[in-house]
Amino acid sequence: MRSGISRGAQTGKSGEFAASNTGRIDVLCVAFLRSRIKDIIIKQQIKYPLTVALALSVIPLSGITAGAASAAETETGADICASLNDNIYQGVNPDSSASVLTASVDELASASQDHGFTQNDGALFRAATAAVSGLVPVHRLYKDGDFVWIPEDAGSTELATAQDNFGYQDQQVDFYASATPLDCGVPVYRFLKGGLHRFATSDADRAALAQDGWTSEGIRFWANSADASQPAATKPAPVLAPAPAPKPAPTPVPAPEPVVAPAPEPVVAPAPQPVVAPAPQPVVAPAPQVTALAASADSSNWVRWENIAKAGETIDTVLAKPELQGKVLKLPAGVFEVSNFRDASAAIRVPSTVKGIVGSGRDTIIRMKANTSSYGRTVPAQGSGQTNQLYLMRMNDGSNQVLSDFWLQGTEQGHLYNGLMIGQSSPGTTVKNILITGVPGDAGSPPGETFGLNWWRGSDSITRDVEIDGYRWTGNSYASRVRGAVVGASPIGYNTHDRAKLYNVYTHDSNVGMPTFWESNNAETWNLQSIRNVIGINHEESFGIVHHNPVMYGSKTHRHITFMSKRGDGKLTIIGATTDEWISQTVSGAVGTAKRMLVLTPTNYNGSNTNTIRTAPKIVQADGVTAVPYTWAH
């Protein structure tokens, strides 16, 4: 497992530097403080789908019309029209009347097969799937079984209102459209009925919805008319956005739902989800078609909690039962709480013989009861060179396992610990649709460096639609959550784990950390978001990594990338990034695409003049060709 960068390197302390221009790359010769890296000794081996409750209604989001475009009108109307070239398809669940919009026919097929969206309305309109001047991002939001799409328009507060006042969760940017009328465009109308939203463009579809009791909320944005000749089967789908989860299991019969604490007061002001990234559309290399996700979708392989748990049993006790060998434990909504760590390494252990855990969304909460740990004495002192081996949950040595659809909630224990470790996993092991919050850490190197999610050894993992939040949240349901202090260290780490695949992972508000790759080669990511962390993305002794459409802004050090090694030279590629502009060591500019970035390769990495990286990173726009200016400090 890696150690982190020393706190001196993270906090941006450096000597004077002078810049020289070499084409599009500014090269800085920097006398950075020595960053001491210790090898880590492992003492022991070690769409957001939510519960669908369609009976609930929501207050209409209408009343705020689309305003002026937020992007500068630097392109002609013809250029903008030409960019609106990707069909956006609509699927409908006939049982619930919920709908989903997507540019991906693979996601449409998955929504139909796995989640009941069997009514295929075909291509509704055409939009852009990458940022274009004159277009605005259109966000996918979710609440209680309802998906809704809202443009991020400078002239409207609807996107923030939906989250702050109505409890919608911003999942991602799905496409780009116009906030103002276009000569080539068609207006896209939004309709509301019983707390659900539907979109339409044609007069016939609008009339049919009105006749069926849907209320028009007016035009929400403008797009291009659908291209019926575009063959759906040939459209790539590098990232499948979250789809609604299967309906939750009934209330457990033999074992009551293990909620053990009264619900807290409702959240006063949850922070808006600052997702601004375009939906990932890889240019250089298409994302592989993933087949290993079937384990969680195949309900025939589930053993439901209510059919195996006895009253008073904890989740750790149930996971050890022989009836779960070769099976997935399916959890209903509820709080699954343990007291204390079971030993000096884990509170909950998923055996290698169990295929994983599938919850029912963010209302399936797994946690340790606050202030019940007696293992604080096992946490090494900072500077000892040892690592913190305590994890809230471990899943080691398994084959094709899956963890999905729950909230791993960090709680106060009076000492530091880690969140989730997946150790020595086989190819295809998957973590998806999980929220991890409040895992405490206080340093950039062990033992104060902890991880929300740690992939340790193994290879070829899949991480999809995961959020890792540095804030500590409390509550017995997602809707009643209350936000506390920022406590988190590194949100996600790959440690000696090659060929990882990562899709739509949102990491934010870490206290001292950032997404990190340590001795982990040939990973590929799509829409990895690092927002308000210490650094954007950290790479140590890791080569051949390709990031498609990463999002990095609000770094505490104003650094986007660190790329370091004392063992050899290698490549790093970044395609279509959305970042704030690097201006200086203390000032950042506006967020956007093709903004100048800062890449740090310290000369004194792990000792005086130990840096061995000579190959400049390749940083290009979404087309995979056009260079993006960046400053390389090394």
Closest residue by Cα to residue 196 from 263, 62, 99, 319: 99
Q: Tens digit of pLDDT for each residue in 472-524? A: 999 999 999 999 999 998 999 999 999 999 999 999 999 999 999 999 999 99
Indicate the residue type of 509: D
Local structure of 217: helix, strand or coil: strand
User: According to the model, what pLDDT value does residue 26 have?
Assistant: 56
Which pair of structure tokens corresponds to residue 425?
Answer: 């996993």
Q: Residue 235's pLDDT band (boundaries 50, 70, 90)?
A: very low
Q: What is the pLDDT of residue 298?
A: 66
Looking at per-residue confidence, does 622 or 296 come out higher? 622
Mean pLDDT of the chain: 80
Per-residue pLDDT band at 69 (split at 50, 70, 90): very low
> Which of 286-300, 395-409, 574-588 has the lowest average pLDDT?
286-300
Assigned domain for 276 exists: no
DSSP 503-556: EEEEEE--SS---EEES--S-EEEEEEEESSSSSEEEES--SEEEES-EEE--T
Strand partners, 501: 462, 524
Q: Based on the domain organization, do 496 and 547 belong to the same domain?
A: no
pLDDT, average across residues 107-117: 89
Residues 451, 495: one domain?
Answer: yes
Phi-psi region for residue 429, left (φ > 0), alpha (ψ -120 to 50) or beta?
beta
Same domain, 517 and 623: no
Are 316 and 424 part of one and the same domain?
Answer: yes
Q: Which residue among 217, 234, 251 closes a domain?
A: 234
Q: Which of 503, 534, 565 is the last residue of a domain?
A: 534
Sorting pLDDT into bands at 50, 70 and 90, what band is 361?
A: very high
Tell me the average pLDDT across 397-412: 96
Which pLDDT score is estimated for 580?
95
Q: Is residue 509 part of a domain?
A: yes
Note the pLDDT tens digit of each residue in 427-484: 999 999 999 999 999 998 899 999 999 999 999 999 999 999 999 999 999 999 999 9
In what helix (H) or strand (E) does residue 294 lie, and over which residues does it extend? Answer: helix 294-297
Q: Are residues 474 and 607 in the same domain?
A: no
Q: Is 298 in the same domain as 224? A: no
More confident residue, 36 or 587: 587
Cβ count within 10 A of residue 378: 18
We report the CATH number of the domain holding residue 503 as 2.160.20.10
Same domain, 461 and 548: no
Q: What is the pTM of this model?
A: 0.61
Question: Residues 409, 528: one domain?
Answer: yes
What element of type H or E holds 82? helix 77-83
Band (pLDDT 50/70/90 cuts) for residue 228 is low
* Residue 271 belongs to some domain of the structure: no
The whole-number average pLDDT for the span 585-600 is 94
Task: Report residue 218: phi and psi, to 5°.
Answer: 90, -175
For residue 158, is pLDDT > 70?
Answer: yes
Which of 42-51, 157-166, 527-536, 579-588 is least confident?
A: 42-51
Banded pLDDT at 42 (limits 50, 70, 90): very low
- Tell me, yes or no, whether 47 lies in a domain: no
Same domain, 545 and 530: no
Nearest to 140 by CA among 127, 116, 154, 159: 159
Which pLDDT score, from 0 to 100, does residue 154 have? 65
CA–CA distance, 78 with 83 (Å, rounded to integer): 9
Structure letter (DSSP) for residue 70? S
* 1 touches 387 (CB < 8 A): yes
Q: Does the pLDDT of residue 22 top 70, yes or no?
A: no
Q: Minimal CA–CA distance to 169: which of 410, 407, 331, 366?
A: 407
Instruction: Indicate the residue among 476, 506, 534 that finishes a domain.
Output: 534
Tell whether the model's pLDDT for residue 244 goes beyond 90. Answer: no
What is the extent of the structural domain holding 465?
A: 293-534
Calculate mean pLDDT across residues 610-617.
94
286: pLDDT strictly greater than 60: no
- Domain check: are 526 and 451 in the same one? yes
Residue 126: φ, ψ to 5°? -115, 140
- Asked whether residue 214 is domain-assigned, the answer is yes
Domain count within the chain: 3
Confidence category of residue 25, pLDDT binned at 50, 70, 90: low
3-state secondary structure of 162: helix
* 95, 96, 113, 453 from 116: Cα distances, Å: 8, 9, 6, 31
| Residue 278 predicted with pLDDT over 70 | no
Q: Which two tokens stand for residue 311?
A: 């009253």
Residues 227 and 331 in one domain: no
Provide the 8-state DSSP code for 301: G
Which residue, among 623, 543, 535, 615, has the nearest Cα to 575 in the 3D structure? 623
Task: With respect to residue 268, please indicate whether it lies within any of the assigned structural domains.
Answer: no
Is residue 448 domain-shared with residue 561, that is, in the same domain?
no
Question: Is residue 416 in some structural domain?
Answer: yes
Asked, for residue 269, whether it belongs to a domain, the answer is no
The least confident of 310-319, 358-367, 451-460, 601-610 is: 601-610
Q: Which residue has better confidence, 77 or 586?
A: 586
Residue 312 pLDDT level (bands cut at 50, 70, 90): very high
**pLDDT value at 187 more than 50:** yes
> Which residue, among 247, 229, 125, has the nearest Cα to 174 in the 3D structure?
125
